[in-house]
Structure 1
Amino acid sequence: MPTATPARRRILDAALKRFAADGALGATLDDVRRDAGASVGAVYHHFADKQALHAAVFEDVLATYQEAFASLLEEQDDPEAGVRAGVAFHLRWCAAHPDHTRVLLAGPPAGADVTELNRTFFRRVRGWWRPHAHHGALRDLDIALLHALWLGPALALTQNALAGRDRAPTDHDATVLADAAWAALRSPDA
């Protein structure tokens, strides 16, 4: 992912707000350009078209979320603390970054290349998880099942809140979901 120059960063930030508010179809390059205070040439210097801009926004947001999650996880020595911290992080991050979350929940747009981002992220998560599983504290699960059990309920709560179908998650919700995640992910032998 290219380093964000100040102009590129302004365009990405403006596009994030537009894609979150108007969706991929409703957002226009002209709106993004105007919101960023950028010229037409500046937008096209950094992005070939709206699809490329949308892909870059998604990749940028995903990288931000993944880096923060993995860094927090790697600070945890205790498996229970790590599982609980992951749930709390997800809910806090999504509440603090609703535009980012809306872009992520929409899924990767055409042209987004998240292969290397995901490879690095899942390598870091597995790198934290495997020693705890090896020593019998956590269940040894594949990454898809691990993700569903760990963050699936928190993700559903976040989606419903952002869609206006439910209230915003509370600290109590985070505790309940962390309890459930820990119960599902700890080794039955621990």
Structure 2
Amino acid sequence: MPRKTYARHKGSDKREREIIEAGLACFAEHGYANTTLEDIRLRSGASNGSIYHYFASKEGLAAAIYVEAIADYQKRILDAIERNPQARAGVRAIVRAHLDWVEENPDWARYLMEMRHAPFMATAESAIAEHNREFINAFVTWLNPHLKSGEIRRMGPDIFISLLLGPCQEFVRNWLGGCTQTKLSAAKEELASAAWLVVRGPATAEN
């Protein structure tokens, strides 16, 4: 059986997850180029056999870390809209979930921003595409009724996500770089309120 080159969030077992987390920690501390699989093995406490059972190479593990981050982030967003199905509550919950995830997982957030176009990502493109398809399908299932009702003004899902999370992404980039004066916890409500003002439709213009 061929060794996996990336992890699947739903199927990651305890040892696989430990190796992924150790890899992320090593890359965050020492950089991708300066980290070896032996560093990751020692950090995770795994045997050589365990490392190579899950990952064929450092590149495969690096891609797995990215895929795992995408899956974890998307699950947080979908959980937020499942708990907040209404338009206004859902929009605000998405923004908060985005910022909460970054605050709780700064190394993963940096990794997503910095490694998207790294050469090793070629091995993960199909997994990322699959996660994105599932995410967009679930997201659109929540969004479409609010577009039809006029609670959210009509636009494509890609425009909606850009308007909703574009300002958050810019704030996060500066926050991760230590360039913000406002604490992330304080920014959540401001950005959530602003997002709703931007996307609300005619049926909720007074809210």
Q: Which TM-score applies when normalising by structure 1?
A: 0.91
Corresponding residue for residue 80 of structure 1: 88
Instruction: Find the partner of 2:189 among 157, 165, 175.
Output: 175
Could you list the runs of 5+ residues in structure 1 that have no partner in the other structure?
none
Corresponding residue for residue 28 of structure 1: 36
| Structure 1 position 186 matched with structure 2 position 205 | no
Deviations 1:64-113 (A, max 9, x none): 11012111112213211111111111111111111221122224333213
Moved more, 48-57 or 161-170: 161-170
Determine helix, strand or coil for the equivalent of 1:38.
coil
Q: Which TM-score applies when normalising by structure 2?
A: 0.84
Corresponding residue for residue 156 of structure 1: 170
| Structure 1 position 16 matched with structure 2 position 24 | yes
Deviations 1:40-64 (A, max 9, x none): 2221111011111111111111111
Equivalences for residues 74-153 of structure 1 within 5 A: 74-108=82-116, 109-112=121-124, 113-153=127-167
1: CA distance, partners of 2:182 / 2:70? 22
Seq. identity, %: 34
Instruction: Find the partner of 1:62 among 70, 89, 104.
Output: 70
Determine helix, strand or coil for the equivalent of 1:25.
coil
Deviations 1:133-165 (A, max 9, x none): 111100222232112110111111111111122
Residues 91 and 169 in structure 1, CA contact (< 8 A), matched pair in contact too: no
Residues 76 and 101 in structure 2, CA contact (< 8 A), matched pair in contact too: no
1: CA distance, partners of 2:51 / 2:181? 37
Specify whether residues 27 and 165 from structure 1 end up closer, same or farther in structure 2 by C-alpha distance, changes over 3 A only: farther
Corresponding residue for residue 4 of structure 2: none
How many residues align? The count is 190
User: After the TM superposition, which segments of 4 or more aligned residues of structure 1 sit over 6 Å from their partners?
Assistant: none
Could you list the runs of 5+ residues in structure 2 that have no partner in the other structure?
1-7
Determine helix, strand or coil for the equivalent of 2:122.
coil
